[in-house]
Structure 1
Amino acid sequence: MTDTTADGPGAGDARLTTREAARRLGVKPETVYAYVSRGQLTSRRDPTGRGSTFDAKEVDALVRRARNQPPSGSDAMQRITTGITLIEADRYWYRGVDAVELARAVPYEEVADWLWTGVRSPDLRFTAPPGTLAAARHAVGALPAHGGSTDRLRVATVAAAVADPLRFDLSRDAVLATARALIPTLVDALPVAGVKGPAADGPLAARLWARLTDRAPAEAEVRTLDMALSLLIDHDLAASTLAVRVAASARAHPYAVVSAGLGAVEGPLHGAASGLAHRMLTEVLERGSAAAVVSDHLRAGHGVPGLGHRLYPRQDPRAVALFAALADVPGARDALAAAREVEATTARRGEQHANVDLALAVLTVAAGMEPDAGETVFAVARTAGWIAHALEEYEERPLRLRPSGHYNGPRPPRPLP
């Protein structure tokens, strides 16, 4: 039963007692007052002084909002179903296959395509379309000289999108064609660091190596870089992957989806983390002491880069695999020893094992690459995973990843400032 009040603004509007509002909302009376304290309802004192009253229209609006939201703990942003990567017990699997074993046995291009299709294509090579590559190279060439590799990847992605009039076709075959063309475009659009790069139809890892360092690689080094690419393809719902899923939920085309991922990668706590580890290892090698460098990091109030991972209580399997591969690279001996010394030094105050960022830093330092090279490796590798997640998200209901904010500002109406 509703009542009306005749005092102040809104006179004549239907008003509910606390008990009536609680019944309409399906909650206890105490919860109604909790809604008031959170600014979701406004109350007015009953003229008889017996309690509070509530505007019926405002209560009904809250009921409608509540019906459109999933129950607490089952928000779509918290429960994104994926069949790509499983992480548990210090191991991880791609579609049920041990990711480390796969990375050791299968080249990056084949791992990526298998992740998208479920079918392995032996001796697969990714080749950039000439027109798309020309547009990407032109755009990358226009950047200032101080631009980093990840800046170039972002620009190359936008240029490739503009060059593709079919980019808005989100059918599965079209997205797969885009993926197979975009990844080699990103790599081949980067300037060659040496005098001459490998053939355009060669293994992607060899082509990427030539754009990160002018040193001629040994076979073991290219194999290690290829393994790193495969190990980094996906890692469940990391920050960049979540950004990708949100973009795909809004039905952004694959280039825009990858751009969303590249934007999140820029953060120092995500893709750029290996650059911090690279600089630390370089300093350890220059000063000849991990203890001094670790001490300086702690004194400055910083954490020690490349240690620990929230998903692996003990060892990061990606780091373990890369360290094992780097042990077979003679030129990596000093950088590997420096990383081990950092790990041993910090172990004195608690067990924190090396993560993949530290292992990637060993590779980039040993190869004479720039500090942002690890970020480039990460971004190129993860592009394949982003596409895999986009393919999944395109099959879901559009715009499902749209959480509701919990407003905690002042209630309207307020006067103009």
Structure 2
Amino acid sequence: MRDQEPDHPVGSERRLSTREAAELLGVKPETVYAYVSRGQLGSRRTPGGRGSTFDPVEVRALARRNRRDGAAAASGHELAVRTRLTLIESDRFYYRGVDAVELAARHTYEEVAEWLWTGRLRPGITFSAPESSVAVARRAVDSLPEHAGPTDRLRVAAIAAAVADPLRFDLSEEAVLGTARVLIPTLVAALPPVLRDGTDGDPIARRLWTRLSGRPADEPTLRALDTALSLLVDHDLAASTLAVRVAASARAHAYAAVSAGLGVIEGPLHGAAGGLAHRMLLEVLDVGSAAPVVAEELRAGRRIPGLGHRLYPGEDPRARALFALLEEIPRAAPALAAARDIQATAARHAPLHANVDLALAVLTASSGMPPTAAETIFAVARTAGWIAHALEEYGERPLRMRPSGLYSGPRPPRPLPE
């Protein structure tokens, strides 16, 4: 049945019928109702009729979005998401238009996080967490088995902190920023300390050091750790960041969005890559040469961890910045030499530059940290970026991160299985 034309106030634009909306969108009428069911389009029942009507402005806006998404797909991008946070081009990357390497060289991790969240610098800012939030998170983490990994602990700490926060469902910008400034120090404080516990007023880098190394912290190494955190805050739409934006699109609260990111980060192709590079580095130091270690990796059909990055045809600027700081630390010299040996040996097979995972491995291996330390550093650092992306997504239309499936199974009808 054709939808009836509704009455409309004088001077306002007439609402569209289902058929007219479908024509404007270039889809079938049933697809229009699919848009409605997914929350992408609003509808209104025709007074006294069975049809629906649609706001022409909203329909035209959806048509424009569909054209943009189609253009992105045609250009080879499976998914394109507008963001004002991080730009990567010409082997450099920028936070809100500012060179990220230069920003990390001059500002602390907390200051860089604030810049990414708000576009404003807050010199000297530190993050602190209420003891009640820390106590709940620590109890939850302490109940885990000894073999639990760092991401397991961080994920449990995030969930525990969420349960302790009755205001977690407030998605206003100020509320989410308040959550971020509490959640990051809570995650660090919930990890088992190796050294004397850091104080709540310490920078995040110093507090994190006490969770990762049994050695006393020196200023050059702390500076390298703080810079690593700043350089890892955000990096375009990585897999974990996409998971965070999907959760935020469904209006999950900030703790849940961060938990979604932590659930993805454990993969060997993402947050765990630094641990693989750390183990390889230790093996090279033990053997005394990179050649047999690299040969074994290639013989097994594995890629060499810590080398190459699909977003940087040349050198990873994060690795370059970290290596420069590590060269000032005498204790890091053997690990640096091993990293250079790995790169030079692998270059005979494929001319790949070192990426941030190899630089992070030099930092963790030379600081007496376990191989899992790189994953912990990555996760804590990236939590700030995930919050920034969640904030952006909360300002977008709900449930927009809902792609349509392309069914490729057998066509119905089929008989019921026996």
For the superposition of Structure 1 and Structure 2, which TM-score range results when normalised by the shorter chain? 0.7 to 0.9
Summarize the alignment of residues 210-359 of structure 1 with structure 2, pairs less than 5 Å apart.
210-359=210-359
Identify the residue that residue 93 of structure 1 maps to in structure 2. Answer: 94
**2: CA distance, partners of 1:25 / 1:297:** 56
The question of whether the paired residues in 2 share the 8 Å contact of 1:127 and 1:201 is answered with yes
Identify the residue that residue 189 of structure 2 maps to in structure 1. Answer: 188
Identify the residue that residue 136 of structure 1 maps to in structure 2. Answer: 137
- Kindly, what percent of the aligned residue pairs are identical? 64
Deviation string 1:357-382 (CA, Å, 9 cap, x unpaired) is 00000001001111110000000000
The question of whether the paired residues in 2 share the 8 Å contact of 1:110 and 1:120 is answered with yes
Deviation, structure 1 residue 350: 2.8
Letter in structure 2 aligned against 1:333? A
5+ residue gaps, structure 1: 1-23, 27-57
**1: CA distance, partners of 2:32 / 2:212:** 57
Summarize the alignment of residues 200-219 of structure 1 with structure 2, pairs less than 5 Å apart.
200-219=200-219
Deviation string 1:288-311 (CA, Å, 9 cap, x unpaired) is 010110001001111111000000
Identify the residue that residue 378 of structure 1 maps to in structure 2. Answer: 378
Deviation, structure 1 residue 62: 5.8
Moved more, 59-68 or 84-93: 59-68
**1: CA distance, partners of 2:217 / 2:339:** 21
**2: CA distance, partners of 1:312 / 1:141:** 40
Deviation, structure 1 residue 140: 0.5
Partner-residue secondary structure (3-state), 1:73: helix
The question of whether the paired residues in 2 share the 8 Å contact of 1:25 and 1:63 is answered with no
**2: CA distance, partners of 1:218 / 1:90:** 31
Deviation, structure 1 residue 59: 6.8
The question of whether the paired residues in 2 share the 8 Å contact of 1:77 and 1:401 is answered with no
Deviation, structure 1 residue 415: 1.0
Identify the residue that residue 163 of structure 2 maps to in structure 1. Answer: 162
The question of whether the paired residues in 2 share the 8 Å contact of 1:132 and 1:160 is answered with yes
Letter in structure 2 aligned against 1:414? R
Partner-residue secondary structure (3-state), 1:92: strand
70, 73, 79: which one aligns with 2:71? 73
TM-score with structure 1 length normalisation? Answer: 0.84
Identify the residue that residue 108 of structure 2 maps to in structure 1. Answer: 107
C-alpha distance 62-388 of structure 1, shift in aligned 2 (>3 A) = closer
Identify the residue that residue 154 of structure 2 maps to in structure 1. Answer: 153
Letter in structure 1 aligned against 2:296? D
The question of whether the paired residues in 2 share the 8 Å contact of 1:110 and 1:121 is answered with yes
Moved more, 263-272 or 77-86: 77-86
C-alpha distance 178-65 of structure 1, shift in aligned 2 (>3 A) = closer
Partner-residue secondary structure (3-state), 2:71: coil
**2: CA distance, partners of 1:416 / 1:350:** 53
Deviation, structure 1 residue 25: 9.0
5+ residue gaps, structure 2: 1-21, 36-58
Q: How large is the RMSD of aligned CA atoms in angstroms? A: 1.9
**2: CA distance, partners of 1:184 / 1:241:** 20
Deviation, structure 1 residue 150: 1.5
Letter in structure 1 aligned against 2:150? S
C-alpha distance 74-64 of structure 1, shift in aligned 2 (>3 A) = farther
Summarize the alignment of residues 33-52 of structure 1 with structure 2, pairs less than 5 Å apart.
none
**1: CA distance, partners of 2:286 / 2:87:** 40
The question of whether the paired residues in 2 share the 8 Å contact of 1:113 and 1:119 is answered with yes
Partner-residue secondary structure (3-state), 1:349: coil
Deviation, structure 1 residue 410: 1.2
Deviation, structure 1 residue 112: 0.4
Deviation string 1:319-357 (CA, Å, 9 cap, x unpaired) is 000000000111111001100100011111331000000
Deviation, structure 1 residue 197: 2.4
C-alpha distance 96-385 of structure 1, shift in aligned 2 (>3 A) = same
Deviation, structure 1 residue 249: 0.3
Deviation string 1:26-60 (CA, Å, 9 cap, x unpaired) is 9xxxxxxxxxxxxxxxxxxxxxxxxxxxxxxx975
**2: CA distance, partners of 1:143 / 1:65:** 44
**2: CA distance, partners of 1:63 / 1:118:** 38
Structure number with larger C-alpha Rg: 1
Aligned residue pair count: 362
Letter in structure 2 aligned against 1:323? F
Letter in structure 2 aligned against 1:86? L
Letter in structure 1 aligned against 2:302? H
C-alpha distance 408-95 of structure 1, shift in aligned 2 (>3 A) = same
Deviation string 1:77-106 (CA, Å, 9 cap, x unpaired) is 722110000000000000010000000100
Deviation, structure 1 residue 199: 1.7
TM-score with structure 2 length normalisation? Answer: 0.83
Deviation, structure 1 residue 217: 1.6
Moved more, 196-205 or 73-82: 73-82
